[in-house]
Amino acid sequence: MSATAPTVRPSGAGIGGVTAAHVLRSEWLKLVTVRSTFWTTLVAVLIAAAVALLAGAVLNTDRGVGEIALRVATGSLSIVALVMGVLGVLAIGGEYGTLQIRSSIAAVPQRWPVLIAKGVVVGAWSFVVGLVVTFGSFGLLALLLGARGADVPFDGATAGALVGGAFYLAIVAAFAVGLGALVRATAAGITVMAALLFVAPIVVALIGALTGAAWLGTVNDYLLSSLGDVLFAPQGTAAIELWAALIGLACWLAAVWIPALLLSARRDV
């Protein structure tokens, strides 16, 4: 009787020979082959371009425009952040809605690598979109103002703020993926994202104005959108320190990702 040669699993292979690289590649292909990715990206770029064009036409060039140009270049990020949040929710919510997630889980029974890989690729895509939005807006604005005789300075601090804006979009998108995995409903996820980014700051500010409670000002500083503002604010103008903002953003991510990962291993699909 002949002996059967043992099967050797490739180094780094997971269950069924599926590696982290395989999962990342799979999630990347899913992201770039759905129309919602390109529609949301197009909307984000068009919004940023429209803001830059409008500002370039109306800004007063008789005064210093360095800090103003930076604020305008990042001024569209509040809306673009919601667009990237919608992308993040759609990326995972669409799979649950169509039950395509069952195929992913069948290939990766541990489940959590699929969610993490999706968060990574959506965050990376949003970061690149953020770089196009921030640097593109600043460059377009500098071109328009330069044609009117204004000098728009560009230095390391400005570049850092523009990169910070792109990083904020990546965080929002990754947060949205975790939220979508947690609620498993596209409409609910988008509603929560809109509430966090736009409604929550208004509500907190209104209650603070009516009650005069000073502690609500601190709460407002640590809302998701407020923490993001710190990443691209001109030097010396942020309400809190950068390190505190980064810790706060990490806590926001943990608030959705930890329960999403834990529940994904227990809930039926």
Q: Give the tokens for residue 48.
A: 């940023």
Task: Report the alpha-carbon angle 225-230-232, nearest 5.
Answer: 100
Spatial distance between the Cα atoms of 125 and 56, rounded to a whole number of angstroms: 28
pLDDT at position 18 is 67
pLDDT at position 235 is 79
pLDDT at position 8 is 40
Burial class (CB in 10 A: 0-12, 13-18, 19+), 202: exposed
Low-confidence ranges of the chain (pLDDT < 70): 1-18, 61-64, 66, 97-99, 101-104, 106-109, 267-269
pLDDT at position 15 is 44
pLDDT at position 176 is 96
pLDDT at position 184 is 86
pLDDT at position 258 is 94
pLDDT at position 6 is 41
pLDDT at position 5 is 42
Spatial distance between the Cα atoms of 73 and 144, rounded to a whole number of angstroms: 13
pLDDT at position 2 is 44
